[in-house]
Structure 1
Amino acid sequence: MDEYKVEASALHAFIVASFRAVGFSAAKATRAANVLHYADLHGHDTHGVANLANIYLDGTTAGEIDAQAEECWVSDRGACATLDAQGGLGLLAGQTAMSHALEKAQEFGVGCSVVRNSSHFGAAGFYASMALDQGLIGMAMTNLGGEPVAHPLGSVAPLLGTNPISFATQSSKGNVPFVLDMSTTVCASGKLKQALRLDKQIPDGWLVDKYGRSSNNPQNYLDGKASLPMLGGALADQGGHKGLGLGVMVEVLCGALAGAHTSAMKQAQGRNSVGHFFLAINPGFFGSASSFTESIDALLATISGAEVHSAYAPLMYPGQPDAITKAERLAHGIPLDSALLSQLDGIADKYELATLKRAAE
């Protein structure tokens, strides 16, 4: 499939215009676009503009997401707070809640915010990374509300969401920060949809059928012929029980604690209530902030570029590949496949927007 490059700022402007076209204010559209743009710049292509039409624009026009929603704090005590997104865009509610957690961490040493009645919030790493400029530690999680997609340890029915976790911390020497952003399933479901769009096979273990056999056809996910296992795989002796445990942990924090839906609420009436969890930690409240960051520097230095056996790629810690991709894409543009560009052209036509200019690879 052909691939093209689109200038980064032009793609961001297109996303803003698209959100505005379905009723978001200029300020909200820009904030929402920032999250998708973060994903596209850092190489998380399954969580960027690829989701613009089917999750965000279609969700808004169908009434699943309320462009006019006004978030409200239903609880705010000490270092803890609960935000009701009122059925609005998770891309916005997530930023509001993480900003509040960061403010509380500056005051109390820790800050925690949870969100209920929200929707898909994009790349978890965006929110954890909000802590970096303040020298804080950030953590972000989300569930899928009452719409599970994962089948842990061979379960017949889907029991959990992809339930991503992100954790970010800065170093003191201006080095690339540590930014972990991972689903608690073997892969994000968006990777399966991306492979289908690109007409590509998927690696062994991403999908498993009812006989425990690996499937390399992403279409089998949508057809229900193969299921998405938790991190570690479909079997306990491969570590699948660890992914199950992490997935349930996310449900506890994002669902039960936040007052949102959990994956157990598959038959819930009305709008799906997705939940988020955000934690900010101020290292200066636990000891010397400079000693902490020096320790992080030393830790990351032992991993980055550490000697590996000849059969393996050079070792990098989470966050380094993203930084390399960001620099490349800012300089040379963001790669988009022809199928996705056709979808974006459809958005432009539907909402009378200018189409994106592109250059062939």
Structure 2
Amino acid sequence: MDFYKVKAHALHAFMVAAFRGTGFDGAQAQRAADVLHYADLNGHDTHGVANLANIYLAGARSGEIDPQAEGTWVADLGACATFDARGGLGLLAGQVAMTRALDKARDFGIGCTVVNNSSHFGAAGFYASMALDQAMIGMAMTNLGRDPVAHPLGSVAPLLGTNPISFAAPSAKARVPFVLDMSTTVCASGKIKQAMRLEREVPTGWLFDAQGGTSRNPRDYLDQTANLPMLGGAFAEQGGHKGMGLGLMVEILCGALAGAQTGADKGQGPRNNIGHFFLAINPSFFSGNSAFTGSIDALLGSISGAPVHPAYAPLSYPGQPDAVSRVERLEYGIRLDSTLVSQLDEVADHCAIPRLARVAL
């Protein structure tokens, strides 16, 4: 497997051009590319440009995603609102909804919005992190609509999505903010697909077969001979029931509350109706921003670099590895494998845009 380095700004510009070449206007293309670029810069390689062709552009070409969709607010009362994306791009609908949640949090202390009739919205951390510039707490979740992929506690059929949760909290300028972005499955399904593309095995515990044995072959997931369990694992003794509970919580907030589909609706309807949930909290309505960020700084400081036993890696909190990746990738570029680069070359040719400039490693 060969690898290449691409400049961060060039990768972003390429994604903007690809979205424009698939029917999105300039502003939409820019905002959509911002979400994918966030993932690539922060080290979430499974949620960035790797999904450009197979999820977003393919969805727009097939009609699953409507580039011309104009979402609308179907409910708006007090601190709460519901947005109907009308089959549009989740990368855009998510930003619209989180922006409204932040606006409401400025007025009410809390803002909560939900989205239905949407599509895959990328890295949940992008939306939760939108709160940080406004010194607020942000939370973002999404389900997979009617297309579940996970088998909680050995279920024969897939029942839940990867159902990610992200939570971001601001800190003082001297410390990296806390940004949690996690699937409620043992790993994101994109990590299995990435391992397949790179021709690598997955870690023990990511996939389980019908007999409860583990598999390290990512192709077993594609062939449906091994299943993706919820966070904690395939058995209750490992904590798999906790992951299932979190996954169900996301389904309730993003599906039932938002008016979107859930795993119970598998196979129903002409278009998958994915739902999102966003929450913004304004600390100034509680203890005040300075007291809050001071407490956060002390808490994060007690975690970062705390002594660990010799067998363990140095301790860091969610958000710190992302910050390191972002600095490195902005300066030195982003590494892409040859299979993905070939896929992007096909995108360029199809959209009649220049191929992505890269340097072989």
Is the Cα–Cα contact under 8 Å of residues 38 and 48 in structure 2 kept in the other structure? yes
Is the Cα–Cα contact under 8 Å of residues 73 and 82 in structure 1 kept in the other structure? yes
Aligned to 2:207: 207
Q: Please tell me whether residue 153 in structure 1 is matched to residue 129 in structure 2.
A: no
- Aligned Cα root-mean-square deviation (Å): 0.6
Equivalent positions of 1:245-264 (< 5 A) are: 245-264=245-264
Residue identity matched to 1:266: K
Aligned to 1:280: 280
1:175: Cα distance to partner? Answer: 1.2
Segment of structure 1 superposing worse, 305-314 or 141-150? 305-314
Is the Cα–Cα contact under 8 Å of residues 172 and 293 in structure 1 kept in the other structure? yes
1:357: Cα distance to partner? Answer: 1.1
Aligned to 1:322: 322
Identical aligned residues as a percent: 71
1:174: Cα distance to partner? Answer: 3.2
Q: SS of the counterpart of 2:116?
A: strand
Aligned to 2:266: 266
Instruction: Could you list the structure 1 runs, at least 4 aligned residues long, displaced by more than 6 angstroms after superposition.
Output: none
1:136: Cα distance to partner? Answer: 0.1
Task: Provide, for residues 49-99 of structure 1, a one-character-per-residue CA deviation record: whole Å limited to 9, x for no partner.
Answer: 000000000100000000000010000000000000000000000000000
For the residues of structure 2 that align with 1:269 and 1:176, how far apart are their CA atoms?
Answer: 43
Residue identity matched to 1:100: R
Equivalent positions of 1:107-186 (< 5 A) are: 107-186=107-186
Aligned to 1:97: 97
Residue identity matched to 1:173: K
Q: Please tell me whether residue 63 in structure 1 is matched to residue 63 in structure 2.
A: yes
For the residues of structure 1 that align with 2:172 and 2:108, how far apart are their CA atoms?
Answer: 22
Task: Provide, for residues 228-254 of structure 1, a one-character-per-residue CA deviation record: whole Å limited to 9, x for no partner.
Answer: 000000000100000000000000000
Residue identity matched to 1:260: A
Segment of structure 1 superposing worse, 242-251 or 173-182? 173-182
Is the Cα–Cα contact under 8 Å of residues 64 and 271 in structure 2 kept in the other structure? yes
Aligned to 2:21: 21
Is the Cα–Cα contact under 8 Å of residues 4 and 337 in structure 2 kept in the other structure? yes
Is the Cα–Cα contact under 8 Å of residues 167 and 180 in structure 1 kept in the other structure? yes
Is the Cα–Cα contact under 8 Å of residues 202 and 218 in structure 1 kept in the other structure? yes
Is the Cα–Cα contact under 8 Å of residues 97 and 114 in structure 1 kept in the other structure? yes
> How many positions carry a matched residue from both structures?
361
Gaps of 5+ in 1: none
Residue identity matched to 2:234: A
Q: SS of the counterpart of 1:185?
A: coil
> TM-score, normalization: structure 2?
0.99
Q: SS of the counterpart of 2:67?
A: coil
Is the Cα–Cα contact under 8 Å of residues 147 and 267 in structure 2 kept in the other structure? no
Q: SS of the counterpart of 1:167?
A: strand
Residue identity matched to 2:25: S
Is the Cα–Cα contact under 8 Å of residues 173 and 297 in structure 1 kept in the other structure? no
For the residues of structure 1 that align with 2:173 and 2:126, how far apart are their CA atoms?
Answer: 22
Aligned to 1:10: 10
Aligned to 1:293: 293
Aligned to 2:244: 244
Is the Cα–Cα contact under 8 Å of residues 178 and 317 in structure 1 kept in the other structure? yes
Is the Cα–Cα contact under 8 Å of residues 147 and 161 in structure 2 kept in the other structure? yes
Residue identity matched to 2:223: D
Q: SS of the counterpart of 1:318?
A: coil
Residue identity matched to 1:330: L
For the residues of structure 2 that align with 1:136 and 1:269, how far apart are their CA atoms?
Answer: 38
Aligned to 2:75: 75
1:359: Cα distance to partner? Answer: 1.3
For the residues of structure 2 that align with 1:120 and 1:320, how far apart are their CA atoms?
Answer: 26
Is the Cα–Cα contact under 8 Å of residues 208 and 214 in structure 2 kept in the other structure? yes
Is the Cα–Cα contact under 8 Å of residues 141 and 250 in structure 2 kept in the other structure? yes
Residue identity matched to 1:360: A
Residue identity matched to 2:145: G
Residue identity matched to 1:350: H
Residue identity matched to 2:230: M
Aligned to 1:44: 44
Q: SS of the counterpart of 1:251?
A: helix
Is the Cα–Cα contact under 8 Å of residues 83 and 115 in structure 1 kept in the other structure? yes
Aligned to 1:87: 87
Aligned to 1:190: 190
Is the Cα–Cα contact under 8 Å of residues 117 and 272 in structure 2 kept in the other structure? yes
Q: SS of the counterpart of 1:226?
A: coil
Aligned to 1:344: 344
1:173: Cα distance to partner? Answer: 3.4
